[in-house]
A and B are shown apart, each in its own frame.
Chain A
Amino acid sequence: MISLAGRDILHSWSKFVLTGIGLGLLIGVTLTMAGVYRGMVDDAHRLLDNSGADLWVVQQDTQGPYAESSSIRDDLVRGIVGLPGVGRAANVTYLTMQVRNGATDVRAMVVGFEPDQPGEPSFLLAGRQVTRGHYEAVVDLKTGFALGDRIRIRRHDYTVVGLTQRMVSSGGDPMVFIPLRDAQEAQFLKDNDAILNERARTAANPALNRPGVPGLLEAIQASQASNHSVNAVLVQVRPGFVAEDVAEPIRRWKHLEAFTRAQMEEILVAKLIATSARQIAMFLVILAVVSAAIVAFIIYTMTLGKIREIAVLKLIGTHDRTIAGMILQQALGLGLIGFIVGKVAATFWAPVFPKYVLLEPADAVRGLVAVMLICALASTLAIRAALRVEPAEAIGG
């Protein structure tokens, strides 16, 4: 027995292929959306991995430093280093801001780190780590900066000395690593106008500007201009200790919050990404419905165009199941073409997509199964029409 579906497809292959391409682009978008979700989860995992930390110590009652803003004094780290089980502990700051390179502006997460401590970039693609105390930076590839570029962050210019990759914030912004002091100044120090304003107000305040106390006003203004806050302390736990055991005393006695890796994952993936996940899920449902509608429509139209042949086939002795099988195979064939086009398209445009798209083989398999099921379902409309055809219609008069 030959394949009636196959022959029909070959006979009107251009219509089939064109529909397949259209369907394929839809499927490609669907796969990409799923990839965006996977990419977001992967971004979150990498963020936690790359920090090199086992514990994140942040402001009490906050879920920072990534999901929420957290601000703590930068001398707290000394108290943490001394706790049992703490191997290394270091201050870090995180701030998402615009970084300028020449005429272009890039949105990046500026990370303030201490050299040789948790928080520094854990591997480099090119260049070197920061050696100077100020005004050098290591950047992620995604910023588009190159070694040697002079980039501007707030008030200062930094030279790019090292490149890394896949260092991104949970929102997908590339990271720029600069010395902690510079980052603190960028984050917590205000711009010139605000500073002048602040100074003028302080000077106008008779309680602070006392002629009888020389040096008081200057001391106050100096303290206002200082920046002694960080967003978090990253802690590495000594071998042999459990992170939760080290976190407990920090929470209880230090009036701080401490999150283990598992807890940070929960915060990032379950909470931060949850809204996006819902949006993507809705998108997927809509795309699935649209794809089903397209397949149903095309197969139905193709079947209606064959009504006379179907009547003749039934009359000369073709069983309903053979005819239904032909239609079903055509729908599945259309789905297969669409899936292949979609998978190829998604693979092609994934690297160029603004957000990180992670295409997993398991998702592709699931996508294929879903496409096949949708096509089978969509073909039922046409199959019902075909089965209703009366063989007697082929006999005129």
Chain B
Amino acid sequence: MPDLGIRIEGLRKRYGKGDTAVDALKDVNMTVAPGELVGLIGPSGSGKSTLLKCLGAVIEPTAGRMTLGGQTHYDNGWKINDLRALRRDRIGFVFQAPYLIPFLDVTDNVALLPMLAGRPNGIARARALELLDALDVGHRAKAQPSELSGGEQQRVSIARALANNPPVILADEPTAPLDSERALAVMRILEQMATQYYTAIIVVTHDEKIIPTFKRIYQIRDGQTFEERGQGRSL
């Protein structure tokens, strides 16, 4: 498989030292190809959120290797200096709640990351509009986030995650607060975005409504991941 998408090898995260040390992650291995949508499922306490934070380059793992879009940014130590830039350019985040910036309008919320990356404002906004249209919220481009419905805000936040064309998107419980119809709609969008923008997407969830839709699932238990075939129910 080409070395794009995201690949995790032997990831370990240890908290504490000596006798009181706890391994939140023992030996995690994951591979997600570009365009693929996988689920990361586990109960609380399983190390799910620790893994998410490592994937998001928010905390430093203890050992292992992480490769993203062909570039190894962690190999038993960070291999790059600027983690913020890594997250900005190479990882897209979708949260449980949309978390849009209230004092920026919809377009600027999406265009913000490209602008921070140095793109000219015009190009960043054009990219934003393109994504908003693809997500069917283009008609709300000039609105304030507070004027949007919950579903519209969620779609805007997905557009924001895609704005810098990252190799991977991490979605943390994106459907938790939604009913089944809306939840499936979000999953449909994510699947469509994965294909359209050639992005690997990892959805962290314990939502029973959407678990059957994944084609591939990583189960995490006691700090270890186990790959499984999903039911792959069509959306």
Contacts and interface: CB of A to CB of B under 8 A. Distances in A.
B49 interface: yes
A394 interface: yes
Looking at A8, A320, A397, the one whose CB has the most chain B CB atoms below 10 A away is: A397
B88 A316 contact: yes
Interface stretch (A148-156, A305-313, A349-357): A305-313
Interface string B80-119: 0000111111010101100101111000100011011000
Interface string B133-169: 0000000000000000000000000001100000000
Nearest to B104: A7
Q: Is the interface of A mostly helix, strand, loop or mixed?
A: helix
A69 interface: no
B48 interface: yes
B121 to A, nearest CB: 7
A313 B100 CA distance: 10
Given A8-B103, A11-B103, A316-B160, A395 B113 contact: no
A388 B187 CA distance: 35
Nearest to B164: A317
A395 B58 contact: yes
B96 A396 contact: yes
Given A12-B103, A308-B99, A316-B113, A397 B87 contact: no
B56 A10 contact: no
Contacts of B207: none
Contacts of A2: 104, 108, 112, 115, 121
B132 to A, nearest CB: 17
B209 interface: no
| B: contact size bracket | 20 to 34
A276 interface: no
Given A2-B121, A395-B52, A395-B56, A315 B93 contact: yes
Nearest to B48: A397
Contacts of A52: none
A11 B102 contact: yes
B84 to A, nearest CB: 5
Nearest to A312: B99
B75 interface: no
Contacts of A396: 49, 95-96, 172-173
A6 B59 CA distance: 32
Contacts of A391: 58
A397 B96 CA distance: 10
Interface in A6-38: 7-8, 10-12
Interface in A208-265: none
B115 A397 contact: no
Given A392-B59, A396-B173, A397-B172, A317 B99 contact: no
| A: contact size bracket | 20 to 34
B53 interface: yes
B44 interface: yes
A384 interface: no
A397 to B, nearest CB: 5
Interface string A307-333: 011001111111110100000000000
Contacts of B56: 315, 395
A1 interface: yes
Contacts of B102: 11, 309
Nearest to A316: B93
A396 B121 CA distance: 32
Contacts of B95: 312, 394-396
A312 to B, nearest CB: 5
A136 to B, nearest CB: 70
Contacts of B84: 314, 317-320
Contact of B58 (A308, A312, A392): A392
Interface string A84-123: 0000000000000000000000000000000000000000
Contacts of B59: 392
B122 to A, nearest CB: 12
Nearest to B172: A395
Contacts of B86: 317
Contacts of A319: 84-85, 116
B118 to A, nearest CB: 8
Given A309-B99, A397-B49, A317 B172 contact: no
B99 A397 contact: no
A10 B99 contact: no
A73 to B, nearest CB: 79
B87 A317 contact: yes
Contact of B116 (A10, A318, A320, A392): A318
A4 to B, nearest CB: 8
28 contacts: A1-B116, A4-B103, A7-B103, A7-B104, A309-B99, A309-B101, A309-B102, A312-B101, A315-B56, A315-B58, A316-B93, A316-B113, A317-B87, A317-B113, A318-B84, A319-B85, A319-B116, A391-B58, A392-B53, A392-B58, A394-B93, A395-B56, A395-B58, A396-B96, A396-B172, A396-B173, A397-B48, A397-B49
Interface of B: 44, 48-49, 52-53, 56, 58-59, 84-89, 91, 93, 95-96, 99, 101-104, 108, 112-113, 115-116, 121, 160-161, 172-173
| Closest A-B pairs by Cβ, 4 of them | A317-B88, A11-B103, A317-B87, A8-B103
